[in-house]
């Protein structure tokens, strides 16, 4: 289908983008277009103005500031996966970014676009939740920060106001943590039926701390706090890990769809969480 007609604004600063969104009857940011263009073509959205961020240089790149990793919203999945800084300070994100879609999608799609789109099956929102990301957004009144738990508020819905732009994502460093992203999907390039993001800190041969979040077991990423608590202080053995990961599906709200039933997703949550932690620790 052909999208409904819209005006096009190519912003060169975040301020220009915010002003254009504020002036529009219904404005939408255009990042990599990997999710938005299909949505427009299916006429699931009909914005009057598209505000393209492609030339906003301040939204690109990866930096280390005061021990935290700062990633510009327009940094592509391929750039995230290849960044030495991300590999060192957020190895889980680098790993997961390399599993998103195919090569073309990773070279066009952006971290900010994936997080702002808030697809329940997307990989990176769960990773950001596991890594305690802070989202920095800018609107007419300036910048504000939103914690990972408060950013995605429902199916394809975030705390972003219509005239706000996601500017950057900040992640506390997890340098040296053992990580794995376990994605169950039908083909190598398809979306996760369930995905598990796991980061584990070793401590005297056991597990000192754990951060676990799941994708596609509810409308928003699910942080598996019960599992994290059970893993903390446990020995790094397959038996102890399997026991701690038993309640991985507790508190999730999966749905039945063409890919899997809700019950199957709950079982996947348990199995994949165990697998992700074992693979992270190499046991
Ligand atoms: P766009 O499509 O441009 O925008 C998406 C939405 O976010 C729009 O509503 C837009 O207004 C909003 N937005 C974008 N940037 C901002 C911003 N800075 N501030 C405020 N709002 C913003 N994703 C996965 O996680 N895993 C997969 O396996 C996967 N496979 C894919 C396979 C295919 C074939 C395709 C086409 C996509 C796939 N994706 C997958 C989605 C991909 O990751 C997209 O890159 C991502 O969902 C959207 O990023 P984008 O930069 O293209 O954003």
Residue in 160, 80, 77, 88 with CA at minimum distance from that of residue 122? 77
Whether the CB of 159 sits within 6 Å of ligand 1: no
Indicate whether residue 183 lines ligand 1 (CB < 6 A).
no
Q: Residue 190, CB half-sphere, CA atoms under 13 Å: how many?
A: 7
Among 172, 194, 228, the domain-final residue is 172
Mean pLDDT on 66-90: 97
The closest residue, in CA terms, to atom 26 on ligand 1 is 100
Secondary structure (H, E, C), 153-166: EECCEECCCCCCEE
Choose which residue among 111, 117, 155, 169 to substitute to test ligand 1 binding: the one with the highest number of ligand atoms within 8 A of its C-beta. 117
Average pLDDT over every residue of 178-203: 94
Q: What is the pLDDT of residue 259?
A: 92
Q: Does a structural domain hold residue 1?
A: no
Minimum-distance ligand 1 atom for the alpha carbon of 125? 25
Q: Are 101 and 146 members of one domain?
A: yes
ipTM topping 0.90: yes
Same domain, 43 and 69: no
Any idea which residue has 């732009």 for tokens?
A: 165
Residue 11 sits in a domain of what CATH number? Answer: 3.30.43.10
User: What is the whole-number distance in angstroms between the Cα of residue 153 and the centre of ligand 1?
Assistant: 17
Nearest CA to ligand 1 atom 49: 113
Residue 12 is part of which domain span? Answer: 7-52
Would residue 66 be called left, alpha or beta, if left means φ above 0 and alpha means ψ between -120 and 50 degrees? left
Specify the number of domains making up the chain. Answer: 3
Same domain flag for 100 and 154: yes
Tell me, yes or no, whether 271 lies in a domain: yes
- Whether 206 is in a domain gets the answer yes
Residue 90: pLDDT over 90: yes
Nearest one of 72, 54, 47, 59 to 11, comparing CA atoms: 54
Note whether 31 and 76 are within 8 A (CB).
no
235 Cα–ligand 1 center, Å: 39
The pLDDT of 240-262, averaged and rounded, is 96
73 lines ligand 1 (CB under 6 A): yes
Instruction: Please give the mean pLDDT across all residues of the chain.
Output: 97
pLDDT at residue 214 in the model: 98
For residues 70 and 123, state if they share a domain: yes
What is the 103 CA–ligand 1 centroid distance (Å)? 14
65 and 24, same structural domain?
Answer: no
């Amino acid at each position: 289908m052909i999208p409904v007609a819209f005006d096009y604004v190519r912003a060169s600063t975040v301020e220009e983008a915010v002003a254009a969104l504020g002036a529009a009857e219904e404005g939408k940011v255009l990042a990599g277009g990997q999710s938005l263009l299909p949505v427009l073509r299916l006429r699931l959205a009909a914005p009057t103005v598209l505000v393209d961020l492609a030339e906003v240089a301040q939204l690109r790149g990866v930096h280390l500031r005061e021990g935290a990793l700062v990633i510009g919203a327009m940094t592509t999945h391929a750039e995230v996966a290849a960044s030495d800084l991300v590999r060192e300070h957020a190895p889980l994100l680098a790993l997961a970014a390399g599993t998103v879609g195919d090569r073309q999608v990773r070279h066009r799609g952006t971290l900010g676009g994936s997080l702002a789109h808030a697809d329940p099956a997307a990989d990176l929102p769960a990773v950001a939740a596991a890594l305690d990301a802070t989202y920095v957004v800018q609107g007419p009144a300036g910048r504000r920060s939103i914690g990972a738990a408060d950013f995605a508020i429902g199916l394809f819905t975030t705390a972003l106001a219509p005239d706000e732009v996601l500017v950057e994502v900040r992640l506390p460093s997890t340098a040296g943590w053992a990580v794995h992203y376990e994605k169950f999907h039908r083909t190598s390039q398809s979306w996760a039926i369930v995905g598990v993001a796991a980061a584990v800190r070793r401590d005297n041969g056991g597990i000192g701390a754990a951060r676990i979040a799941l994708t596609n077991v509810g409308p928003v990423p699910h942080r598996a706090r019960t599992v994290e608590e059970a893993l903390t202080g446990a020995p790094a053995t397959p038996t102890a890990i399997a026991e701690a990961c038993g309640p991985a599906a507790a508190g999730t709200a999966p749905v039945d769809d063409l890919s899997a039933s809700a019950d199957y997703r709950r079982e996947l949550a348990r199995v994949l969480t165990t697998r992700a932690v074992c693979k992270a620790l190499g046991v």
